[in-house]
Amino acid sequence: MAKPLGRTQTLSQLQSPSTPPPQETTDNNDYCDIQIDDWEDGTQPLDEDVTMDEPQATLGASLSVSQDAKQQRQVSPVPTEPDDPDPEFISNQLARLKIKVRDYGSYPPYAMSSPPPPLSATSVASGLVVSHHNTNSSAFAPLTPETFDPYKGLGEFEYRLRQHPRTLPIPGKTTRRLLDIGWISEDEVSKRCSEEDKKSLCEFDERNRIRALKLSELRKRREVEFGLSADSEETGSGFAWGFDPKTGAYPYLVMRYDAIPSYAERDRLVTGVRPLFVTVDRVMRMAMASERERERDRIEAEEALNQRKKDEEEKEREESHRIEVEMLEERAKEEREEAMGRAAAIHEGIKAPTTPNAARKRSPQQAWADDEPDSGDENEDLEAKRLRLARSQSETWYEKER
């Protein structure tokens, strides 16, 4: 049991009895006192004893303080309603402040200006090689240019040339862009690069050449269909969607550089890119191995399918041959039976029956019953009846022999 609280205490004293009592003040917002009257014997007028493990007094004090705080709280001068202006007002404010907003859901009508001239082998780029946009109205959206890192490209170029054994050729795109910015020369490519590297470069140039021919053909067709001049925006450089109209190359930006690296600096570039391309080679080898495995599985599946088809065809041929043999045997058996029936009929001096099989399967009583209505003469000759009886007996014998 806890000790009685004794004198009048505040909420802070209830929560932390060791803190000193606060000084009296006239501000009602500083403290909210809870008056607990004392009795003469030091106890409190509570229905139940207050213990530390019974939170009735603390809960009641918290509720009282919360209600008093709500009553004493002043109205805040800050607006609490959400400020949601109309879109027209926002657009006007952005236009007044000259802020450009781009909706990435739909590309704005932009057109590409003419591409910059290629750099020579001795030139030094002072900034990004950028194809600037203009805001002319055009129905074609330009392509997003790629960012080309010449240091990484030259490091890959040197890393591939110094790699023994060679695993992958130098990408033709990297070689072509290094040639365009003048970091390598045609003589270096012809002397140092392998046949696979040159083949990769030729394939890249061939793809660009085919794209340029298609764009040129489409431009001429539009000139004829719409009567547009060759210098108009719909058929000029803006018509190529950012591709180089002459070479058909994809647009790209070159990162800023100060000078062309020397051969000594190429060693540092190779050292920097080696961990990256070691990982790339490992991943490529795994991908190539997986591709070879898939190709092997595909070939094995095709061979299994072809073998299954051959087995099914062989079974069908065997089944058809068996059916043909059975049919021939049945036909030969029928011919033998017919010959035996004719021989028996000739031996008995009776004409061989020519009625179908269904008519042959009759008993003598059925034969008499079938023949009597057809005769129409009750006093027919006894010789005719004897012939009919002999015929029915021969048919019964024929059926037994079958």
Instruction: Return the higher-pLDDT residue of 46 and 341.
Output: 341
Q: What is the mean pLDDT of residues 85-112?
A: 75
Q: What is the mean pLDDT of residues 76-82?
A: 74
pLDDT band at residue 400 under the 50/70/90 scheme: low
Specify the range with the lowest mean pLDDT, choosing from 130-134, 197-201, 251-255, 289-293: 130-134
Residues 6+ apart with CB under 8 A from 161: 170, 192, 193
Specify the range with the lowest mean pLDDT, choosing from 169-173, 217-221, 281-285, 380-384: 380-384
Q: What is the mean pLDDT of residues 319-328?
A: 91
**Do residues 21 and 13 make contact, with C-beta atoms less than 8 angstroms apart?**
yes
pLDDT digits (tens, 9 = 90+) for 256-273: 888 889 888 999 999 999
Looking at residue 351, what is its pLDDT? Answer: 52
Q: Which residue has the tokens 């031996």?
A: 347
Looking at residue 190, what is its pLDDT? Answer: 92
Q: What is the mean pLDDT of residues 197-226?
A: 86
Residues 6+ apart with CB under 8 A from 52: 2
Distance (Å, whole) CA 342 – CA 355: 13
pLDDT band at residue 175 under the 50/70/90 scheme: very high
pLDDT at 103 over 90: no
pLDDT at 104 over 80: no
Looking at residue 140, what is its pLDDT? Answer: 52
Instruction: Return the higher-pLDDT residue of 250 and 376.
Output: 250
Both tokens of residue 272?
A: 């920097």
Residues 6+ apart with CB under 8 A from 42: 4, 6
**Do residues 146 and 253 make contact, with C-beta atoms less than 8 angstroms apart?**
yes
Query: Taking the domains of the chain in order of start, what are their residue ranges?
Result: 11-67, 111-292, 348-402
**Do residues 189 and 204 make contact, with C-beta atoms less than 8 angstroms apart?**
no
Instruction: Return the higher-pLDDT residue of 84 and 35.
Output: 84
Residues 6+ apart with CB under 8 A from 177: 148, 150, 153, 252, 254
pLDDT band at residue 8 under the 50/70/90 scheme: very low
Looking at residue 78, what is its pLDDT? Answer: 75
Q: Which of 65-69, 191-195, 378-382, 390-394 has the highest mean pLDDT?
A: 191-195
Looking at residue 119, what is its pLDDT? Answer: 46
Torsional class of 4: left (φ above 0), alpha (ψ -120 to 50), beta (otherwise): beta
pLDDT at 91 over 70: yes
pLDDT band at residue 310 under the 50/70/90 scheme: very high
